[in-house]
Amino acid sequence: MPSSLFDLTGKVAIVTGSTRGIGRAIAEELARAGAKVVISSRKIEACDEVTNALRAEGREAISIPCNISKKDQLETLVAETRKAYGQIDVLVCNAALNPYYGPMAGASDEVFTKVMGTNIQSNLWLCNMVCPEMAERKDGAVIIVSSIGGLKGSTTLGLYCISKAADFQLVRNLAMEWGEHNIRVNAIAPGLVKTDFAKALWDNPKTLSRVEAATPLRRIGEPEDIAGAAVFLASKAGAWMTGQQVVIDGGVTIAG
The pLDDT tens digits of the residues spanning 166-220 come to: 999 999 999 999 999 999 999 999 999 998 777 776 678 888 899 899 999 999 9
pLDDT interval class at 1 (50, 70, 90):
low
199 within some domain: no
For the domain that residue 242 is a member of, what is the CATH number?
A: 3.40.50.720
CA distance 123 to 166: 11
The pLDDT tens digits of the residues spanning 32-75 come to: 999 999 999 999 999 999 999 999 999 999 999 999 999 999 99
The pLDDT tens digits of the residues spanning 126-146 come to: 999 999 999 999 999 999 999
233 within some domain: yes
134 within some domain: yes
Catalytic center residues:
160
pLDDT of residue 36: 98
4 within some domain: no
Domain tally, the chain: 1
pTM score above 0.85: yes
Domain of residue 170: give its range. 12-191+222-250
pLDDT of residue 17: 98
200 within some domain: no
182 within some domain: yes
17 within some domain: yes
128 within some domain: yes
